[in-house]
Structure 1
Amino acid sequence: MKHLITGNAGFIGFHVARTLMARGDDVVGIDNVNDYYETSLKEARLRELERAAQQYGVNYRFERANIANRAALDKVFADHQFDRVIHLAAQAGVRHSIEHPESYVESNLVGFSNLLETCRYAATPHLTYASTSSVYGGNTQMPFNEDHGVDHPLQFYAATKRANELMAHSYSHLFRIPTTGLRFFTVYGPWGRPDMALFKFTRLILEGKPIPVFNHGHHTRDFTYIDDIVEGVIKSSDQVATVDAHWSSDQPAPSTSNAPFRVFNIGNGKPAQLVDYIDALEDALGKKAIREMLPMQAGDILNTHADTGKLEQAVNYRPDTSVREGVEKFVEWYRKYYSV
């Protein structure tokens, strides 16, 4: 098959693209390689994808463009006929959205609107896109289930991602575009984002500097290793979303529809406290952290825990990487990449 992957210079997009190439699929990637974090890491990922294409003997093309530019997207779709579109380009970062909401409007709202329109006119067979566990916002009922309310976002980032889900449903309903939204839960692993806790903590511990431990490390996160995420993304993309024959407008389930639309949680399903995450990192590094205990940050969700039952039933999703195993793999990559 031929896939379009938006955000393929990013953490998840890079891994998805490389895995698809490894199974023999062709990939077209699009990314604007912005400077939200170090562009050198993004460029290194792109070089790895070039090598992967040669290694696996598949066609790979990269378009350096912004999805907020409708003309650029139109050109990509004019040049290619895609069997699947996997949309992972977005302005990420919970706290960054508090200071720079305009970046989220451009990428997450305008960019996603452009993509929906191009998929509409190209009659795309299936669009799979990234949402986030942050949409659960003020909800404290655990574990998070796709049938829970998601109308109380705690930051603008979450609001834009919830908007994406609603926008996707409208296009699925009006134009019968099959869409699958995936609510990611705290993804980590090799080639990860430098603004995420694991990356920052590793650098600071190795430099002998204090790490900021918000909420004194007592909040929990459903840490999900990148390989498990990639498996779920690709399986979801392979299986085209269909109408839910049991959906009722009298009692409308929010995660499915009488349109070809669905939303899934994608996480590990085994949350861990931040302090335990740090313990695992210390063991992998063989060095203790200097912990600076701090209060909760504005916009943070206290706890996350994914109910992944719907995704397991739909595509046989089975995450199997423990936090300790995943952290060890990240540290191994980090030491090699940065020659530490």
Structure 2
Amino acid sequence: MRLLITGGAGFIGSHLAERALAHGAEVVILDNLAANYDPALKQANVELVRMRAARAGAGFRFVRGDVRNGELLDRLFARHRFTHVAHLAGLPGVRPSLAEPRRYLEANVAGTVAVFEAIRRHGAGVERVVVASSSSVYGAQPGPWREDLPPAPLSPYAASKAAAEQFARTYQRMLGIGVTCLRYFTVYGPRQRPDMAIARFTARALAGQPIPVFGDVHSRRDYTEVGDAVRGTWAALCEPGADFQVYNLGSGRPVTLKELIDALGRVLHRPIALDLQPPSPGDAPATWADITRARQRLGYHPRTALEEGLRRYVGWVRWHLPVGRGEGRAARGAGNHVRRGLQRRETNGR
């Protein structure tokens, strides 16, 4: 397998790169190291993948660039002759999309089109393309959510993901290759973005600060540990056939926000104070994945319970980003902590 991972310096992408390398794939990461959060953290992810590749003697290359750069994509496809593509690049986040919807249109929709256009020009050997989508496309419909439910987005972010799915379906028909859209459900774990809820909750709790809670503590979310999400992503990449598929990648076991915070408090061995805030527009009151299709077709079986996943994440935070340093200083030192972490077994076991 010759695999291109767009957005591969990020959270899910860097884990996927490691899994692909472990399975003998040649991997190219394309990422522009966007400043939606500190690029030093993404660079640290790349260095970790690079060192793992060197140890395994596997083929790896990192290219810094924008996925919408057609000339760059042309060069990469011509040189590497990819057989598989994991298109994970894009702008995340419901709340920021409310303020800047055009950026989400350009990054998430135009970026997806650019990848498929490069495949149309140079991707004669491409067998399967996986496109990162989101549980946000379901909106506020009652759960559990099956993949055949019509999209009902509540935010520009969700709308951009729903539109990217439609372009992916259109290009599958045009190109006759395998295309899969993966609807991720609140993926968390080591290396997750610092703006994500569990990361913010953990940072504030470790600093002895109250956790801001927007809306009802009884709202429910389907949380997916990154190892489970990546196993599902790898299975989708390896699926044979020139077809179009959509899969939910979640746990299938939603929990309330109160249950999440209580579990985090047990892992941290400290009480957690709450700062109750009004509900945030664009957020769904509940998310709930029906994972029957992924289980039957991909052999997807999430196996990490929430509290175990939180324990792995908190262990990673304590080792790689020690408490007591500012966010910017922690990011600058992340690469050193990654290199130190390779010299002993990582807390998260991956």
Question: In 1, distance between residues paired with 2:9 and 2:241?
Answer: 26
- Specify the code of the residue in structure 1 equivalent to 2:321: Y
- The Cα shift of 1:8 comes to 0.7
Q: Report the number of matched residues.
A: 321
The CA distance in 2 between the partners of 1:241 and 1:324, in whole Å, is 37
- Verify: 1:233 aligned to 2:253, yes or no: no
Identity of aligned residues (%): 40
Q: Are positions 1:155 and 2:164 aligned together?
A: no
Counterpart of 1:302 (choices 285, 293, 299) is: 285
Contact 1:24 1:57 in 2 (8 A): no
Q: Secondary structure at the match of 2:94?
A: coil
Kept after mapping to 2: 8 A contact 1:139/1:149: no
Question: How does the TM-score come out when normalised to structure 2?
Answer: 0.90
Q: Displacement of 1:339 after TM fit?
A: 2.2
Q: Confirm or deny that 1:266 pairs with 2:268.
A: no
Residue matched to 1:276? 259
Partner of 2:41: 41
User: Structure 1 residues 324-333 or 74-83, which shifts more?
Assistant: 74-83
Structure 1 distance, partners of 2:247, 2:50, is: 31
Distance 2:294 2:69 in 1: 33
Normalised to the residue count of structure 1, the TM-score between the two structures is 0.92
Deviation per residue, 1:277-310 (Å, 9 max, x gap): 1111111111222201122210000001100101
Query: Alpha-carbon deviations, 1:55-82, whole Å to 9, x = none?
Result: 2110100110001111111111111111
How much does 1:23 deviate? 2.1
CA-based RMSD of the aligned residues comes to 1.1
Asked if residue 131 in structure 1 is aligned to residue 114 in structure 2, the reply is: no
**Letter of the structure 1 residue corresponding to residue 22 of structure 2:** A
> Does residue 173 of structure 2 align to residue 180 of structure 1?
no
CA distance in 2, matches of 1:10, 1:144: 27
Q: Do 1:190 and 1:334's aligned partners in 2 also have CA atoms closer than 8 Å?
A: yes
> Are 2:273 and 1:290 aligned?
yes
SS in 2 for 1:213: strand
**Residue 225 of structure 1, CA deviation:** 0.2
Counterpart-to-counterpart distance in 1, 2:299 and 2:232: 9
Deviation, structure 1 residue 175: 2.0
Q: 1:253 maps to what in 2?
A: none
> For residue 330 of structure 1, what is the aligned residue in structure 2?
313
Q: Give the corresponding residue for 1:171.
A: 171
Task: Give 1:31 deviation, angstroms.
Answer: 0.1
Query: Offset of 1:35 from its aligned partner?
Result: 0.5
> Letter of the aligned partner of 1:268 in structure 2?
S
Gaps of 5+ in 2: 324-350
C-alpha distance in 2, partners of 1:96/1:271? 24
Amino acid at match of 2:138: Y
Contact 1:120–1:177 under 8 Å retained in 2? no
Equivalent residue for 1:16?
Answer: 16
- State the secondary structure of the residue aligned to 1:296: coil
Structure 1 spans left out of the alignment, 5+ residues: 243-259
| Cα distance, 1:197 vs structure 2 | 0.6
1:219 aligns with: 219
Per-residue deviation at 1:240?
Answer: 2.8
Structure 2 Cα separation of the partners of residues 106 and 52 of structure 1: 33
Q: Which moved more, 1:261-270 or 1:211-220?
A: 211-220
Partner amino acid, structure 1, of 2:314: V
Tell me how far 1:241 sits from its aligned partner. 4.1
Match of 2:328 in 1: none
Counterpart of 1:131, as a letter, is: S
4+ runs deviating over 3 angstroms:
none
C-alpha distance in structure 2 between counterparts of 1:313 and 1:295, whole Å: 40
Counterpart of 1:87? 87
